[in-house]
Amino acid sequence: MGNNMQINPQLPVRANIILTLEKINQGQSLSLLLDDLLTAVKDNEKGFTHELLLGTLRHWHAISRIGESLIKQPPTDIGITCALNMGLYELLCMNTPDYAIINETLNAVKSLNKNYGVGLINAILRKVADKKEKFAKKINKNHSLPNWLAKELKQDWGDYYENLGQNLRKPAPIFLRVNGKFSTLTYYANLLNSADIAHEILPLGVAHERVIKLTTSQKVQFLPHFQDGFVSVQDRHAQLCGHILKALNLPKNLRLLDACTAPGGKLAQLLELSNDVFHVEHITALDNDEKRLNRVHDNLARLQLADKADVICADGTSYRTDTLFNVIVLDAPCTATGVIRRHPDITLLRTEQDVAQTVALQADILQNLWQNLAVGGHLLYITCSLLKSENERQITNFLAKMSNAKAVDFELTLPNQIKQAVGYQCLPLNDDDGDGFYYALLQKM
């Protein structure tokens, strides 16, 4: 059963959350919906709205299993499942009184003209409210991943799997990258101290580099000198990119291709790091998504780096240049299973079929970009995926096929940066850990 109602300020807050969940279940992404939702709710409801929506998504599969165990016939309207899951999450994981949750969830359902779901939702919420402790234990015990993904992660990560499954449903920490063109990490940490912004300084895992972690939630636009480009938000493991390349002590005047560049996080880091020692003469940055390239331009403008790179719209599977590159960064399109903590809707949007398609696309891009690399040049392959098929296996298959490619060793030193047959897999296993990233370094012979 469809629903043409749109998120709007006249609806109760829970009704707007149900509509958002419904759209995600139909394939839209949270990042495109969240602003609309938060704009539609009152200021004093924004925090609650965020917590209820994100919490429901983080626990979606665990909650769905509870709902399914109590219902004989699953509802034909996905909106009813969304309302039920939202109600169950609030009941089992938030502090709202039970009667208020049940009343408000039912009111929301009625305001969406879905009265046919009221009886079912009322019955299930009351049943669960009566045995809250039992169901709360259930929800917390297991992972909240779709079965196909849980199976793949178990195969790939054996001993780490349980911990990984639990951690993927937690919110991710916020890390900052300090722009060395304007500041040092120590100087910026002092600015944060002066502004009373709680933070920690943590190692990055490569050379002696460090990173800032914010320890309280903070609107980034209000960070000291954010608009002046002193600092950017970038995940701890994403920040390895520039430092792995810097540690190679490459010759000066590098010609670098940042393939798959949008929204430009790694590109900006490379430009910020470029100096007399790690000297990038020229960067070409490409992506095949025109819209996402707008975000690259915005980011570079804020960091005052707009004139430092040629940003082009091109397809990595076919792009060719006459002047070959010394370094190619390939931050490949992937299943993004490593960033589920930041985008919990991935567990609803991704399917098992997506994996094979993504692996094939990555192989095509890698194969084509290799033709643009000069002999002696390096290619840094990166994904934010946890799956070995996109990572270690992708690269070992490439090396087996390409007689002019070899793996280059580098060292990452943190416990959850795990050495693979080629490269490293970073896993989010602790609250301080960065996202799930894979890095492999190749050289053309």
Ligand X SMILES: C[S@@+](CC[C@H](N)C(=O)[O-])C[C@H]1O[C@@H](n2cnc3c(N)ncnc32)[C@H](O)[C@@H]1O
Q: Which residue's CB is nearer to ligand X, number 75 or number 338?
A: 338
Binding pattern for the stretch 409-438 against ligand X, x by CB under 6 A and - elsewhere: ------------------------------
Q: Does 287 bind ligand X (CB under 6 A)?
A: yes
Q: Looking at this protein, which amino acid is placed at residue 100?
A: A
CA distances from 186 to 189, 303, 329 (A): 5, 19, 28
Shortest CB 29 distance to ligand X, Å:
13
**Separation between Cα atoms, residue 85 and residue 59, nearest integer Å:** 9
Q: Which is nearer to ligand X, 67 or 265 (CB)?
A: 265
Should residue 262 be labelled a site residue for ligand X when binding is judged by CB under 6 A? yes
Q: Tell me: does residue 167 bind ligand X (CB under 6 A).
A: no
Please select the residue that binds ligand X; options are 75, 165, 265, 423, rule is CB under 6 A.
265
**Candidate list 205, 264, 344, 434; residue touching ligand X; CB under 6 A:** 264
Report the C-alpha gap between 124 and 30 in whole angstroms. 27
Instruction: Name every residue whose Cβ is closer than 8 Å to that of residue 49 and which is 6 or more positions away in sequence.
Output: 13, 16, 17, 37, 38, 41
Q: Does 211 bind ligand X (CB under 6 A)?
A: no
Of 228, 238, 242, nearest to 182 (Cα)?
Answer: 228
Q: Are 243 and 279 in contact (CB under 8 A)?
A: no
What is d(CA 329, CA 316) in angstroms, rounded to the nearest whole number? 12
Can 241 be counted among the known catalytic residues?
no
Nearest in space to 14 (alpha carbons), one of 123, 101, 117: 101
Q: Per rule CB under 6 A, is residue 23 in the interface with ligand X? A: no
Alpha-carbon distance of 231 to 194, in angstroms, equals 16
Other Cβ atoms within 10 Å of 384 Cβ, number: 25
Q: Which of 7, 260, 300, 303 binds ligand X (CB under 6 A)?
A: 260
Stretch that binds ligand X, among 105-113, 138-146, 193-201, 254-262 (CB under 6 A): 254-262
Is 315 annotated for ligand binding?
A: yes
Within 350-389, the residues that bind ligand X by CB under 6 A are 365, 384
Q: Closest separation between CB of residue 240 and ligand X, Å? A: 11
What is the C-alpha to C-alpha distance for residues 424 and 420, in angstroms, rounded to an integer? Answer: 5
Catalytic residue among 82, 260, 334, 384: 384
Binding site, by residue number, is: 287, 315, 331
In the annotated binding site for S-adenosyl-L-methionine, the residues are 287, 315, 331
Q: Which residues bind ligand X (CB under 6 A)?
A: 260-266, 287-289, 292, 315-317, 331, 333, 365, 384
